[in-house]
């Protein structure tokens, strides 16, 4: 088990972008504005990619103990 419990730059960045994506998409459904919704929907996979890239750059949890 990792000592940082997911408190890494990679994890926080990915979660922050994902939360922003859900908020934007939610606002897009309430307005209703499909463009705003799709901006939020496009941000969600970007969160995963950003977290993956940051983890590979060394900003994630160390997998080797």
Q: What is the pLDDT of residues 9-32, one digit of tens each?
A: 999 999 999 999 999 999 999 999
Which residues, in sequence order, are CB contacts of 1 under 8 Å at separation 6+? none
Q: Using an 8 Å Cβ cutoff, are 50 and 12 in contact? A: no
Alpha carbons 63 and 18: distance in angstroms, whole number: 23
d(Cα 12, Cα 30) in Å, to the nearest integer? 27
How distant, in Å, are the alpha carbons of 5, 13, 48, 63 from that of 56? 18, 14, 12, 11
pTM for this prediction:
0.82
For the segment 31-64, what is each residue's pLDDT rounded down to a tens digit? 999 999 999 999 999 999 999 999 999 888 875 5
């Amino acid at each position: 088990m990792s000592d940082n419990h997911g408190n890494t730059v990679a994890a926080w960045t990915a979660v922050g972008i994902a939360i922003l994506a859900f908020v934007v998409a939610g606002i897009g459904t309430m307005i209703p504005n499909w463009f705003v919704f799709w901006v939020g929907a496009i941000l969600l996979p970007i969160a995963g990619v950003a977290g993956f890239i940051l983890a590979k750059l060394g900003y994630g949890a160390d997998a080797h103990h």
